[in-house]
Amino acid sequence: MRKNLMLVLVLSFVAAAGIVGLAEKEPLLIYTSCPTEIMSAIEQDFEALNPTIDLQVYRSGTGTVQAKIAAEKEAGRILADLIWVAEYSYCETLKDQDLLFPYLSPQAASLPASLVQPEGYYYGARVFAMVICYNSLYVTEPPTSWLDLLDPKWAGQVVTGNPQYSGSNVVTCAALGMTYGVNYFEQLRANGCTVVQGNSQSAAEVSSGAYLIGFTLDNMVRDLKKAGSPIELVYPTDGAVLVPSPIAIIKTTDHLAAAKAFVDYVLSPNGQKALVTFGQYVPARTDVVGPVGAPTLAELSAQSISLPMDFFKCTSNFFTEQFVEIMLE
Amino acid sequence: MPSVIELEHLTKAFGDVVAVDDIELAIARGEIVCLLGPSGCGKTTTLRMVAGFDRPTKGEIKIAGVVVSSGSTLIPPERRNLGMVFQNYAVWPHMTVFRNIAYPLRIKKVPRREIQKKVDEAIQLTGLTGLAKRYPEQLSGGQQQRVALARALVVQPVAMLLDEPLSNLDAKLREKMRFEIMDLHRRTGITVLYVTHDQAEAMVLSDRIVVMNEGRIDQIGSPGEIYRQPRSAFVADFIGLANFARATLVESSGSQGRAAVAGVEDISFPCEVPVGAEQSREGLLFVRPEDIRLTEKAGGTLRGIVRRRTFLGNQVDYRIEAVGKEWRVEVNPDVTIPEGSAVGMSVQRAVFLPEAPGEGAS
Amino acid sequence: MEDAKRTGVRRNLTQPILFVSVIVLLLILVGLPLGTLFYKSVVMQGKLTFVNYTYVFSEQRNILPFWNTLKLGALTVAFSTGIGVALAWLVARTDLPGRRWIEMASLVPYMLPPFIGAMAWTQLLAPRVGYLNKLWTGLFHTPTAPFNLYSFSGIVWVMTMYTFPFIFITAKGALERMNPSLEEAARIAGAGKIRVLRNVTLPLVLPSIMAGMILAFLYTISNFGVPALLGMRARIYVLTTRIYLYMHDGTFQGIRLAAALSVLLLAAALFILLLNRWVLSRQHGAAIISGKSVRPAVVELGKWRAPIACGVVAFLGFIVIAPLVSMFLTSFIRAWGLPLRWENLTLHNYKYILFDYSLTKSAFLNSSLLALTAATVTTAFGALLAYISVKTKLKGRQAIDFLSTLPHAIPGTVVALAMILAWSGQFKLNLYNTFWIIIVAYVVRYLFYSYRNVSASLVQIHPSLEEAARISGASWMQNFRDVIVPLIRPGLVASWLLIFMPTLRELTMSILLYGPHTPTLAVAAYEMQSAGYYHIAAALASLIVVVLLVLNAIVRRVVGGKANA
CATH number, position C530: 1.10.3720.10
Average pLDDT, chain B: 86
**Closest CB to B107 among C179, C181, C189:** C189
Q: What is the DSSP string of B65-134?
A: TEEEESSS-B--GGGS-EEEEBTTB---TTS-HHHHHHHHHHHTT--HHHHHHHHHHHHHHTT-TT-TT-
| Closest residue in C to A80 (Cα–Cα) | C516
How far is it, in rounded angstroms, from Cα A204 to Cα A155?
Answer: 19
Answer yes or no: is C463 within a domain: yes
- Per the CB < 8 Å rule, is C334 touching A9? no
Sign, CA dihedral C117-C121-C123-C129, equals negative
Tallying the residues shown for chain A, one arrives at 329
| Closest residue in B to C178 (Cα–Cα) | B90
Q: What is the DSSP string of C98-120?
A: THHHHHHHHHHHHHS-HHHHHHH
Q: What is the tens place of the pLDDT at every residue in A195-228?
A: 988 898 899 889 888 889 999 999 999 988 887 8
Answer yes or no: is C486 within a domain: yes
- Both C405 and C531 in a single domain? yes
Cα A280–chain centre separation? 13
**Secondary structure letter of residue C315 according to DSSP:** H
Q: What is the tens place of the pLDDT at every residue in B232-256?
A: 888 988 888 888 888 888 887 778 8
| Residue B210 pLDDT | 95
- Both C138 and C185 in a single domain? yes
Q: What are phi and psi of B4, to 5 degrees?
A: -85, -45
Query: Rounded to the nearest 10 degrees, what angle do helices C252-281 and C51-58 cross at?
Result: 80
- Both C488 and C398 in a single domain? yes
Answer yes or no: is C16 within a domain: no
- Both C310 and C221 in a single domain? yes
**Closest CB to C531 among A5, A76, A197:** A197
- Per the CB < 8 Å rule, is C204 touching B94? yes
Residues C410/C403, Cβ–Cβ less than 8 Å:
no
CA distance C247 to chain A (A): 7
**Closest CB to B137 among C192, C287, C297:** C287
- Both C396 and C258 in a single domain? no
Kindly report the three-state secondary structure assignment for every residue of C76-92.
HHHHHHHHHHHHHHHHH
Specify the amino acid at residue A68. Answer: K
Chain A contact set for C250 (CB, 8 A): 63, 66-67, 69-70
Question: Can you give the residue ranges of every domain in chain A?
Answer: 2-126+245-289, 128-242+304-328
Total tally of structural domains belonging to chain C: 2
Specify the amino acid at residue C302. Answer: G
Residues 6+ apart with CB under 8 A from B319: B306, B307, B308, B309, B310, B326, B327, B328
Cα C45–chain centre separation? 36
Q: Among candidates C500, C484, C494, which has minimal Cα distance to C442?
A: C500
Residues C281/C78, Cβ–Cβ less than 8 Å:
no
Q: What CATH number is given for A2-126+245-289 in this structure?
A: 3.40.190.10
| Number of Cβ atoms within 10 Å of the Cβ of C133 | 22
**Secondary structure letter of residue C178 according to DSSP:** S
| Residue C173 pLDDT | 84
CA distance A278 to chain C (A): 14
Residues 6+ apart with CB under 8 A from C69: C221, C238, C239, C240, C265, C268
Q: A273-295 b/e with 16+ CB inside 10 Å = b?
A: bbbbebbbbbbbbeebebbeebb
DSSP element (H, E) containing A82: strand A82-84
Q: What CATH number is given for A128-242+304-328 in this structure?
A: 3.40.190.10
pLDDT in tens, chain C (565 residues): 444 444 444 445 777 788 888 889 999 999 898 888 888 777 777 777 777 777 777 777 788 888 999 999 999 999 999 999 999 989 988 888 888 888 888 888 888 888 888 888 988 888 888 888 888 888 888 777 788 888 999 999 999 999 999 899 888 888 887 888 888 889 888 888 888 888 888 888 888 888 888 888 988 998 998 999 899 888 889 999 988 888 776 566 777 788 888 888 888 888 887 887 777 776 665 444 444 445 566 777 778 888 999 999 999 999 988 899 988 988 998 877 677 788 888 888 898 888 877 778 888 899 999 999 999 999 999 999 998 888 887 777 788 888 888 888 788 888 888 888 888 767 777 787 788 999 999 999 999 888 888 888 888 888 888 878 777 777 788 888 888 888 888 888 888 888 898 899 899 899 888 887 788 999 999 888 877 788 888 999 999 999 888 888 877 776 654 434 3
Answer yes or no: is C143 within a domain: yes
Give me the total of CB pairs closer than 8 Å, taking one residue from chain B and one from chain C: 84
Through-space distance between the first and last CA atoms of chain A, rounded to whole angstroms: 53
Sign, CA dihedral A247-A251-A252-A253, equals positive
3-state helix, strand, coil in chain C (%, to 5): 75, 0, 20
How far is it, in rounded angstroms, from Cα B47 to Cα A99?
Answer: 88
How far is it, in rounded angstroms, from Cα C373 to Cα C386?
Answer: 19
Answer yes or no: is C266 within a domain: yes
Cα B189–chain centre separation? 20
Q: A116-132 b/e with 16+ CB inside 10 Å = b?
A: bbeebbbbbbbbbbbbb
Using 70 as the pLDDT threshold, list the residues of chain A that sit under it. Answer: 1-24, 74-76, 308-316
List Cα–Cα distances, B302 to B282, B295, B342, in angstroms: 19, 10, 11
DSSP, collapsed to helix, strand or coil, labels residue A84 as strand
Q: Among candidates A74, B284, B266, which has minimal Cα distance to C426?
A: A74
Specify the amino acid at residue C496. Answer: W
Answer yes or no: is C32 within a domain: no
| Residue A312 pLDDT | 63
Residues 6+ apart with CB under 8 A from C212: C81, C84, C166, C167, C168, C169, C170, C171
Q: Which domain holds residue C71?
A: 47-285+303-314
Chain C contact set for B79 (CB, 8 A): 190
- Per the CB < 8 Å rule, is B78 touching C182? no
β A241-250/A194-195 pair status:
unpaired
CA distance A109 to chain C (A): 33
How far is it, in rounded angstroms, from Cα C215 to Cα C228?
Answer: 21
| Closest residue in C to A229 (Cα–Cα) | C335
- Both C263 and C403 in a single domain? no
- Both C141 and C275 in a single domain? yes
Chain B contact set for C192 (CB, 8 A): 76, 78
Residues 6+ apart with CB under 8 A from C63: C57
| Closest residue in C to B95 (Cα–Cα) | C284
Q: Among candidates B176, B234, B196, which has minimal Cα distance to B358?
A: B234
- Both C196 and C119 in a single domain? yes
Neighbours of chain A (3+ CB pairs under 8 A): C
Residues A272/A284, Cβ–Cβ less than 8 Å:
yes
Q: What is the tens place of the pLDDT at every residue in C364-388?
A: 899 999 999 999 999 999 999 998 8
Specify the amino acid at residue A218. Answer: D
How far is it, in rounded angstroms, from Cα B94 to Cα B221?
Answer: 42
Q: Among candidates B192, B188, B182, which has minimal Cα distance to B160?
A: B192
Answer yes or no: is C22 within a domain: no
Chain A contact set for C531 (CB, 8 A): 35-36, 197-198, 200-201, 204
How far is it, in rounded angstroms, from Cα A167 to Cα A154?
Answer: 25
Q: How would you list the strands of the sheet with B302-311, edge to edge?
A: B292-295, B342-347, B302-311, B316-322, B325-331
Model pTM?
Answer: 0.77
Mutation site, C68, C358, C480, interface A, largest A CB count within 10 A:
C358
Residues 6+ apart with CB under 8 A from B63: B4, B5, B50, B80, B81, B82, B158, B159
| Residue C314 pLDDT | 92
β A123-135/A231-234 pair status:
antiparallel
| Residue C157 pLDDT | 94
CA distance B104 to chain C (A): 5
Answer yes or no: is C174 within a domain: yes
| Residue C288 pLDDT | 46
| Closest residue in C to B157 (Cα–Cα) | C189
CA distance C120 to chain A (A): 16
Q: Quote ipTM for the complex.
A: 0.78
Residues C347/C416, Cβ–Cβ less than 8 Å:
no
CA distance B193 to chain C (A): 14
Q: What is the DSSP string of C206-248?
A: HHHHHHHHHHHHHHHHH--HHIIIIIGGGT---HHHHHHHHHT
List Cα–Cα distances, C175 to B8, B360, C88, C163, C178, in angstroms: 36, 42, 8, 19, 5
**Secondary structure letter of residue A327 according to DSSP:** I
- Both C223 and C371 in a single domain? no
pLDDT in tens, chain B (362 residues): 578 999 999 999 988 889 999 999 999 999 999 999 998 899 999 999 999 888 899 999 999 989 999 878 888 888 889 999 988 888 888 889 999 999 999 888 899 999 999 999 999 988 899 999 998 888 888 899 899 999 998 988 999 999 988 888 888 888 888 888 888 898 889 999 999 998 889 998 999 999 999 999 999 999 999 998 888 888 988 888 888 888 888 887 778 888 888 877 777 888 888 776 656 678 888 899 888 888 876 666 788 888 888 888 888 889 988 888 889 998 887 778 888 888 888 888 888 887 654 433 33
Chain B contact set for C204 (CB, 8 A): 92-94
Specify the amino acid at residue A219. Answer: N
What count of Cα atoms within 13 Å lies in the side-chain half-sphere of residue C52? 26
Q: Among candidates C528, C493, C492, which has minimal Cα distance to C507?
A: C528
Chain C contact set for B83 (CB, 8 A): 188
**Secondary structure letter of residue A226 according to DSSP:** H
- Per the CB < 8 Å rule, is B152 touching C188? yes
| Number of Cβ atoms within 10 Å of the Cβ of B124 | 11
List Cα–Cα distances, C275 to A31, B249, C76, C210, in angstroms: 46, 79, 18, 11
Max Cα separation, chain B? Answer: 77
| Residue C107 pLDDT | 85
Q: C244-273 b/e with 16+ CB inside 10 Å = b?
A: bbbbbbbeeebbbbbbbbbbbbbebbeebb
| Residue C70 pLDDT | 92
